[in-house]
Amino acid sequence: MQTLIDLVTTHGALLVFVATLAARIGAPVPAAPLLVVAGGLSAVGVVSLPLAFAVAVAANVLGDGLWFWAGRAQGHRVLGLLCRWSLSPDSCVRQSEALVARWGGSSLVAAKFVPGVSVVAAPMAGAMGMSLGRFVASDALGGALWSGVFLGLGVVFAGEVERLLVALASAGTTATLLLLALLAGFVAWRWWRRQRFLREAAVPRIAADELQALIDAAGDGEPAPLIIDVRSLAAAELDTRHIPGALIADLDGIAARAASLPHDREIVTYCNCPNEASAATAALRLRAAGLPRVRPLAGGLEGWAAAGRAVATARPQLLP
């Protein structure tokens, strides 16, 4: 522990840059607490506060810029990849879509303080076509506010930070093990939350081939399946593809529409998110409302297109 503290006091600005950059890229690095420590050390002249602030803002823009470029190049695909890596629930893409669609560049400022969304907001901005100049300006402002808040907390509570560092140095190995245990506990809790969500969303899926067979059978007198696109409006505007005949419905209000939906037809929900998260949630809500023949589409829209099935690009109708 003493070696770590010596490293912080000797290379404070460099550690701030590396930790902040790693956090912005998506690594589970406690960058915010490190900024608080750096702010506290700046009050006693160990770390340069202006330098720590400058490198933190630069690391924010650089790290987010990498994801912005990836989102611009790969669109929604990189967002699914991010949420597969994330320990946050699979709603992170949907939350980011809503945030960016509603607030535009301002969303990059707010996202800095929203766990699970902060890493996804930058590629979402790129995928949704935000200009480079607006991204850099908004992200730099967000990075400045985020860095200023945590560095400022360190300055305000400089005495407490110094006493904490002294206590950690005195505790030695015990303090190191305690910090590692706390970090492991946090990761385990987030993992448990994710696994619980996946278990709850383990509703039976319908494969693309089976759905296509139901669509084909509709021409022979069988009732056609009702296909519901539960992607957010922002996602539908970003990726205009949809299954022919699908109707768009808001996930939050879909249960309220259950009474108006047919009980004698297959209902298929789909999205384009990891683990079919939104589609599974919609299916569970409709089943709970008394519609037993509801299944999410395995693989979502991406899986449907990858299977060579037809997609339409004209704006789909809303679910009545």
List per-residue pLDDT tens for the chain, 320 residues long: 445 556 666 677 888 899 899 888 877 777 888 888 888 888 877 788 899 999 999 999 999 999 899 888 876 667 666 655 554 545 556 666 666 666 666 778 877 887 666 777 888 788 777 889 999 999 999 999 999 999 988 888 777 776 666 565 555 566 567 767 777 786 677 677 766 766 766 788 999 999 999 998 886 667 889 999 998 776 777 678 899 999 999 888 898 888 889 888 899 999 877 678 888 889 999 999 999 899 999 988 888 988 899 999 887 788 87
Q: Domain range spanning residue 274?
A: 208-318
- 184 with 216, same domain: the answer is no
Task: Out of 184, 200, 216, pick the residue that ends a domain.
Answer: 200
What is the number of H-type helices and E-type strands within the chain? 15, 5
- Contact in structure between 44 and 158 (CB atoms under 8 Å): yes
Task: Out of 200, 230, 260, pick the residue that ends a domain.
Answer: 200
Predicted TM-score (pTM) of this structure? 0.64
- 169 with 285, same domain: the answer is no
- 176 with 227, same domain: the answer is no
The reported pLDDT for the residue numbered 84 is 58
Task: Out of 159, 177, 200, pick the residue that ends a domain.
Answer: 200
- 78 with 135, same domain: the answer is yes
- Contact in structure between 112 and 118 (CB atoms under 8 Å): yes
d(CA 277, CA 296): 9
CATH of the domain at 306: 3.40.250.10
- 93 with 234, same domain: the answer is no
Helical spans, DSSP H, in 75-157: 76-85, 92-103, 106-111, 118-127, 132-156
Distance of CA 305 to the CA centre of its chain: 24
The reported pLDDT for the residue numbered 174 is 67
- Number of folded domains in the chain? 2
- 63 with 157, same domain: the answer is yes
Percentages helix, strand, coil for the chain (3-state, rounded to 5) are 65, 5, 30
d(CA 80, CA 75): 10
- 155 with 175, same domain: the answer is yes
Beta strands in the chain (DSSP E): 226-229, 247-248, 267-270, 294-296, 317-318
Q: Which residue has the tokens 């929900």?
A: 269
The amino acid present at 234, given as its one-letter code, is: A
The reported pLDDT for the residue numbered 226 is 95
- 172 with 94, same domain: the answer is yes
d(CA 42, CA 153): 11
- 258 with 220, same domain: the answer is yes
- Contact in structure between 103 and 121 (CB atoms under 8 Å): no
- 221 with 185, same domain: the answer is no
Strand partners, 317: 247
The reported pLDDT for the residue numbered 53 is 95
The amino acid present at 97, given as its one-letter code, is: E
- 163 with 221, same domain: the answer is no
**What Å distances lie between residue 286 and 42, 43, 253, 267, 279, CA to CA?**
56, 57, 11, 9, 11
d(CA 109, CA 114): 10
- 195 with 212, same domain: the answer is no
d(CA 194, CA 279): 16
